[in-house]
Amino acid sequence: MKLVDSRVLVVFAIAHSAMSIEADAHEVAGFIGKSALAVDLYQVRCFDDGTGATDYLAVEISDQAPVKPSLLSVQVSKDDQVRNITDLVDGDEAFSRPVKLKGGNGDYVLSVDKTGAYEEVYNLEVHCVTATGAHTGTTEPVLLQDQ
Ligand SMILES: [Ca+2]
Ligand SMILES: [Ca+2]
């Protein structure tokens, strides 16, 4: 009887940790090339992992060292809606304010661009959020275009 109990516990622990990972924010480390016209594209899917349906996708961007004159921005789009946010301070390790797009469950496209011809390193933080502010199902962002 004790054996059975511990097996159940192990299965529960694995399932629980998988859910926790799914519910956490997803961070992407990116690199964008020198061209002033360079754009990196990602796709993220929001879904109900049992926490609840998605109300909006929130994305933050952090312009990492080295410090360069160009500013980095991320646009979030779904259906006919687009929202933009820019990290105004390069190399301070702090993220921009979150850009939020109320698009429900489904696929969102993130595009990262910049204001000048400098190579840049950045991080993105991505969360699908319910109407009550809980983190819900968020897939690992897929890189669609790397420039
Ligand atoms: Ca930088
Ligand atoms: Ca910053």
Protein residues near ligand 2, an ion, with CB under 5 A: 87, 89, 92, 94
Q: What is the mean pLDDT of residues 4-29?
A: 56
Banded pLDDT at 5 (limits 50, 70, 90): low
Q: Which ligand neighbours the alpha carbon of 32 most closely?
A: 1
Q: What is the mean pLDDT of residues 63-74?
A: 96
Q: What is the pLDDT of residues 70-96, one digit of tens each?
A: 999 999 999 999 999 999 999 999 999
Whether the bond between 66 and the residue before it is cis, its omega within 30 degrees of 0, is: yes
Structurally, how many domains does the chain consist of?
1
In this predicted structure, the answer to whether residue 16 has a pLDDT above a threshold of 70 is: no
Share of the chain above pLDDT 70, in %: 83
Banded pLDDT at 66 (limits 50, 70, 90): very high
- The rounded Å distance from CA 54 to ligand 1 centre is 32
- The rounded Å distance from CA 91 to ligand 2 centre is 6
Specify the pLDDT at position 24.
62
CA angle 29, 34, 35 (to 5 degrees): 120
- The rounded Å distance from CA 76 to ligand 1 centre is 20
- The rounded Å distance from CA 79 to ligand 2 centre is 29
For residues 90 and 33, what is the distance between their CA atoms, to the nearest angstrom?
A: 16
pTM: 0.82
- The rounded Å distance from CA 133 to ligand 2 centre is 24
- The rounded Å distance from CA 96 to ligand 2 centre is 6
Q: Which domain holds residue 41?
A: 2-145
Kind and range of the H or E element at 30? strand 26-32
In this predicted structure, the answer to whether residue 133 has a pLDDT above a threshold of 80 is: yes
> Minimal CA–CA distance to 147: which of 27, 28, 34?
34
Q: What is the CATH number of the domain that holds 85?
A: 2.60.120.380
- The rounded Å distance from CA 66 to ligand 1 centre is 5
Specify the pLDDT at position 77.
98
